[in-house]
């Protein structure tokens, strides 16, 4: 009988909150789609304007965040709309060019995703291998709490030295994501807490190992600048400075200072702004280290 009785009304304030949230979500989605469409048009424009085919991968690489954040149907619709507008112009040559660019976007994105998955699988395998060796070792680093700090350090040193050739910035990012995943798990368990501690320990030591592996002079600067992720770049720098000491830091500060001096001599626009920003940031962090080492 309740089906035919008077309906219980939702409290007015709850009703208003629901529609406010709905309106906000719709507005956010509309803004996201507008930005996405604008960025995609710029991508098409840049690809069409490229004179050297060798420039295409770098153009795509710089926009992969855009492609990966798209929902499947959104990307399809944008490609269809791009081709349709090219057809409407009635220029066969332009249409063919657009078709080639659209095919390139699809193939590059597919290959990027496949390579990313392959790298992710390799990073999972490497982390799993390290964790398995740690837990199975007769002088277990984390799981046997009777060990001294020295024994833990020695065991981890030997393990990391064995796997050092496989440490990459991607592996660092993988461990960071694993830490976030464990921290955000709905249920906290003692095992999860130990696992989080273990992964963080491995991450810190991998960064230190990367710092030890740095070469000399300009080679060091080149290696550091090769890290696209800012946090990784600074972490490896700090690890290297800690391992090598003050004299090494002074030498590095001279290198970065000299590089910045050369940038200033260039004509405006000749120096890559991103490269200049990276060198400036490294220079500042090195000087901070040198200053702190005098205290």
pLDDT tens sequence across 256-287: 888 888 888 877 767 778 888 999 999 999 99
Phi-psi region of 269 (alpha: psi -120 to 50; beta: other; left: phi over 0): left
| Mean pLDDT taken over the chain | 80
- Token code pair at residue 78: 């944008």
Q: What is the model's pLDDT at position 16? A: 60
Beta strands in the chain (DSSP E): none
For 114-127, write each residue's pLDDT tens digit.
Answer: 888 888 898 898 88
Q: Which has more pLDDT, 131 or 50?
A: 50
The most confident of 54-58, 129-133, 224-228, by mean pLDDT:
54-58
CA–CA distance, 292 with 286 (Å, rounded to integer):
10
**81 pLDDT more than 70:** yes
The CA R_g of the chain, rounded to the nearest whole Å, is 26
Q: What is the average per-residue pLDDT within 52-58?
A: 86
Q: What is the model's pLDDT at position 216? A: 61
**14 pLDDT more than 80:** no
For 194-241, write each residue's pLDDT tens digit.
Answer: 888 888 878 877 777 766 655 565 667 777 888 888 888 888 888 888
Q: What is the model's pLDDT at position 1? A: 37
CA–CA distance, 27 with 183 (Å, rounded to integer):
31
CA end-to-end span of the chain, whole Å? 82
For 148-192, write each residue's pLDDT tens digit.
Answer: 666 666 777 777 788 877 887 778 888 888 888 888 888 888 888
pTM over 0.75: no
Question: 203, 195, 251: which is closest to 231 by C-alpha?
Answer: 203
In the three-class reduction of DSSP (H, G, I as helix; E, B as strand; rest coil), residue 171 is classed as helix
Answer whether 160's CB lies under 8 Å from 209's CB: yes
Which burial class, exposed, middle or buried, applies to 127 when counting CB atoms under 10 A from its CB (0-12, 13-18, 19+)? Answer: buried
- Token code pair at residue 239: 């690890």
Of 24-38, 85-99, 163-177, 198-212, the least confident: 198-212
Phi-psi region of 217 (alpha: psi -120 to 50; beta: other; left: phi over 0): left
Angle 143-144-147 from CA coordinates, rounded to 5°: 135
**142 pLDDT more than 50:** no
Which burial class, exposed, middle or buried, applies to 278 when counting CB atoms under 10 A from its CB (0-12, 13-18, 19+)? Answer: buried
pLDDT above 90 covers what percent of the chain? Answer: 17
Q: What is the model's pLDDT at position 3? A: 44
Which burial class, exposed, middle or buried, applies to 225 when counting CB atoms under 10 A from its CB (0-12, 13-18, 19+)? Answer: middle
């Amino acid at each position: 009988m309740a089906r035919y009785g008077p309906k219980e009304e939702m409290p007015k304030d709850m009703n208003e909150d629901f529609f406010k949230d709905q309106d906000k979500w719709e507005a956010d989605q509309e803004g996201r789609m507008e930005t996405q469409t604008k960025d995609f048009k710029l991508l098409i424009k840049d690809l069409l304007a490229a004179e050297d085919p060798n420039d295409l991968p770098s153009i795509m690489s710089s926009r992969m965040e855009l492609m990966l954040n798209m929902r499947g149907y959104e990307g399809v619709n944008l490609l269809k709309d791009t081709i349709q507008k090219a057809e409407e112009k009635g220029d066969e040559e332009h249409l063919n060019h657009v078709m080639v660019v659209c095919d390139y976007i699809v193939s590059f994105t597919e290959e990027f995703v496949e390579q990313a998955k392959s790298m992710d699988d390799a990073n999972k395998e490497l982390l799993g291998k390290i964790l398995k060796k740690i837990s199975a070792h007769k002088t277990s680093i984390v799981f046997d709490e009777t060990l001294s700090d020295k024994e833990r350090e020695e065991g981890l040193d030997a393990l990391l030295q064995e796997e050092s050739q496989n440490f990459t910035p991607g592996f660092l990012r993988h461990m960071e994501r694993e830490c976030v995943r464990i921290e955000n798990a709905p249920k906290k368990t003692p095992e999860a807490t130990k696992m989080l501690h273990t992964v963080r320990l491995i991450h810190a030591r991998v960064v230190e190992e990367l710092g030890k592996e740095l070469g000399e002079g300009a080679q060091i600067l080149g290696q550091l600048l090769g890290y696209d992720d800012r946090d990784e770049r600074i972490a490896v720098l700090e690890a290297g400075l800690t391992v090598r000491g003050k004299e090494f830091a002074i030498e590095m500060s001279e290198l970065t200072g000299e590089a910045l001096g050369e940038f200033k001599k260039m004509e405006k626009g000749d120096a890559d702004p991103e490269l200049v920003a990276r060198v400036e940031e490294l220079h500042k962090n090195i000087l901070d280290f040198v200053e702190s080492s005098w205290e």
